């Protein structure tokens, strides 16, 4: 039984004159019925990774992977036409900015029904009914009214719920959510997260959630992959990651999060010294070495992949 989404050695590059490698090696697996979080700071390449799965990158981006499989089928060689038949249909994506992700010129209802009518042969009546059902499911009251409204008439939280409902129109098996709560108010964030967790459970979705917030990870993730400077540096089940992080970057990240009750009054807040390096072409070795307390000469060359358990691996010279 193959996993829902399998990625190995994903690389994404931009630009012709001086190419920038946004993703230099991402490998992880998303299973059906699990919530997999891809976490990392801004600029680490997690959004690019998400976009490259569905091949939504802008023109001029080059994607390479040793393995990029969805339900066992290879995604790499698919034409844009073939890919578009999968998008919105078997795999769906929601984005960070609900304020601008909906077309201001069309009603909510028409934007939702067009997905269903594009992929499945249903009439307008059936599509509208399903849209109303899903709006109710994501917790929107008076769905009939909302269907006829325009995006600018809805708040940010409502729009994000609409986006989620829209993504679910064709019953996809994989839902990719790129920082879905970052642009929302804190209270709304919690509601949306709860909604995603509930939907994932009820519909048996595979949910790939991109975020920079470890709090979100702790709350809903089954598995976590940590990204740094374009690479997945550690991948584990959530409990394992928080209990025993192996990669120095992950350890540093967890130290940065102040936990009420555990932190002393005069204790300085944790931080990772230095900044994320710019990775040019031909970069070798570990990107974290300049900020790492454990770095040595071998870190400038190849970095081995270690296992710290059957589902826990990390990219470091340090032993498990």
Query: Could you say whether residue 15 binds other proteins (CB under 8 A)?
Result: yes
Query: Could you say whether residue 160 binds other proteins (CB under 8 A)?
Result: no
Round to whole Å and give the CA distance between 147 and 162. 10
Q: Which of 68, 163, 287, 303 binds other proteins (CB under 8 A)?
A: 163
Query: Could you say whether residue 101 binds other proteins (CB under 8 A)?
Result: yes
Round to whole Å and give the CA distance between 164 and 213. 20
Query: Could you say whether residue 144 binds other proteins (CB under 8 A)?
Result: no
What's the Rg (C-alpha) of the chain?
21
Q: Which of 31, 114, 171, 213 binds other proteins (CB under 8 A)?
A: 114
Cα torsion angle, 55, 116, 98, 200, sign: negative
**Alpha helices, DSSP H, located in 61-174:** 80-86, 108-119, 124-137, 143-147, 156-167
Round to whole Å and give the CA distance between 29 and 36. 8
Q: Which of 64, 74, 100, 277 binds other proteins (CB under 8 A)?
A: 100
Query: Could you say whether residue 78 binds other proteins (CB under 8 A)?
Result: no
Q: Which of 10, 38, 115, 184 binds other proteins (CB under 8 A)?
A: 115
Q: Which of 26, 38, 39, 48 binds other proteins (CB under 8 A)?
A: 48
Query: Could you say whether residue 216 binds other proteins (CB under 8 A)?
Result: no
Cα torsion angle, 237, 217, 94, 161, sign: positive
Residue in 172, 160, 313, 159 with CA at minimum distance from that of residue 245: 313
Query: Could you say whether residue 88 binds other proteins (CB under 8 A)?
Result: yes
Binding site for other proteins (CB under 8 A): 14-17, 20, 42-43, 47-48, 51, 54, 56-61, 80-81, 83-89, 92-93, 95-97, 100-106, 114-115, 118-119, 149-150, 152-153, 163, 166, 179
């Amino acid at each position: 039984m193959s996993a829902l989404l399998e990625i190995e050695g994903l690389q994404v590059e931009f630009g012709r004159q001086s190419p920038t490698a946004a993703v230099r090696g991402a490998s992880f697996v998303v299973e059906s019925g699990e919530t997999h979080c891809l976490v990392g700071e801004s600029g680490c390449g997690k959004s690019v990774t998400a976009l490259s799965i569905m091949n939504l990158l802008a023109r001029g981006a080059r994607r390479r992977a040793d393995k990029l499989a969805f339900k066992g089928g290879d995604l790499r060689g698919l034409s844009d036409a073939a890919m578009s038949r999968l998008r919105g249909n078997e795999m769906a994506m929601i984005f960070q900015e609900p304020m601008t992700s909906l077309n201001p010129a069309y009603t909510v209802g028409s934007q939702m029904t067009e997905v269903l009518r594009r992929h499945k042969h249903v009439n307008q009546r059936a599509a509208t009914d399903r849209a109303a059902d899903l709006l109710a499911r994501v917790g929107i009251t008076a769905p009939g009214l909302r269907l006829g409204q325009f995006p600018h008439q809805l708040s940010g939280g409502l729009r994000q719920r609409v986006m989620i409902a829209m993504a679910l129109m064709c019953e996809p098996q994989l839902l990719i959510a790129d920082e879905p709560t970052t642009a929302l108010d804190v209270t709304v964030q919690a509601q949306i997260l709860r909604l995603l967790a509930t939907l994932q459970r009820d519909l048996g979705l595979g949910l790939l959630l991109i975020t920079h917030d470890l709090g979100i990870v702790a709350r809903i993730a089954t598995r976590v992959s940590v990204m740094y400077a374009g690479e997945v540096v550690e991948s584990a089940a959530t409990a394992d990651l928080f209990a025993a992080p192996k990669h120095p970057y992950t350890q540093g990240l967890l130290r940065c999060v102040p936990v009420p009750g555990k932190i002393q009054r005069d204790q300085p807040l944790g931080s990772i010294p230095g900044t994320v390096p710019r990775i040019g072409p031909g970069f070798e070795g570990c990107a974290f070495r300049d900020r790492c307390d454990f770095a040595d000469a071998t870190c400038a060359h190849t970095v081995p992949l270690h296992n710290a358990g059957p589902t826990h691996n990390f990219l470091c010279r340090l032993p498990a």
